[in-house]
Amino acid sequence: MRTLFLITARGGSKGIPRKNVRQLGGVPLLGFKAIAAQRSGVCARLVLSSEDPEIQQVARDFGVDVPFTRPPELATDTASSADVIEHAMKWFEERSETYDAVMLLEPSSPFARAEDFRAAVAMMERTGAQAVVGMRKMEVASIYVGEIDASGRISSIIDKMNQRTNVARQQSPQEYTMNGGLYLFRWDYFRRTRNIYADRDGVYGLVMPDEYSLELDEMEDWHFAEFLVERGIVDMSNWRP
């Protein structure tokens, strides 16, 4: 299966300024996905979509192709991921460069490893999935999660809890959520639907370890990532020589 690995990184990060080029454990954030993709053995071509010259140069330094510059209107807070992906896909289609699937990589979830990319591709080939996304375990079951209303009441949570009065907390089934580590989807499927999750029975989840499932949105996340790296909880040999 020929898979295009697409790193998407814009320059306007607010929670962690310039995070895509910020160093974590001696590696620019963007470099984590670039190195893992190149080591995976399942990457037919690795490219970057960005409007930012500094990000583009860092990508080139890590061997990533930068064949185009993302249009400014697709580099705003309100630009949709679907539009960014479609822009890249059209660029290749206009040049008759074809792929079977796209592996979308967002630097803000840096710790996906080469073995995770290989496992995702293997899962797609084995199951016939339309898409495979990285997943992590939820610490708390969704029955205990809900809204607090304007007055401070947690009625919506209590309603869910009362519906399962005979089920102990420890007996709640393990639940999962997307971890942002990887999004693999078939080319024709996305061009037809513009939605990774359009086929409810055709999307599969690849569970990744908790320590490799961190998403970096705020500085608190960044400091925790530094802790994981410094303590050796995250094995940096996945991204170092």
Asked if residue 221 lies in contact with residue 215, where contact means CB atoms within 8 angstroms, the answer is yes
DSSP state of 101: E
Question: 176 pLDDT exceeds 70?
Answer: yes
pTM: 0.93
Confidence category of residue 169, pLDDT binned at 50, 70, 90: low
Q: Where do the structural domains in the chain lie, given as residue ranges?
A: 3-137+175-238, 139-173
**β pairing state of 27-28 and 101-105:** unpaired
pLDDT, residue 167, reads: 63
Confidence category of residue 57, pLDDT binned at 50, 70, 90: very high
Which range has the worst mean pLDDT, 31-40, 84-93, 141-150? 141-150
User: Does residue 214 register a pLDDT over 90?
Assistant: yes
Percent over 90 (pLDDT), the chain: 88
Distance CA 108, CA 16 (A): 10
Q: Read off the pLDDT band of 106 (50, 70, 90).
A: very high
Average pLDDT over residues 52-66: 97
Look over the chain and give the mean of its residue pLDDT values, rounded to a whole number. 95
**Are the CB atoms for 207 and 137 separated by under 8 Å?**
yes
Q: Fold for 3-137+175-238, please state it.
A: Spore Coat Polysaccharide Biosynthesis Protein SpsA; Chain A (3.90.550)
* Residues forming beta bridges with residue 134, ordered by sequence position: 206
pLDDT at 164 over 90: no
Distance in angstroms (rounded) separating the CA atoms of residues 223 and 153: 33
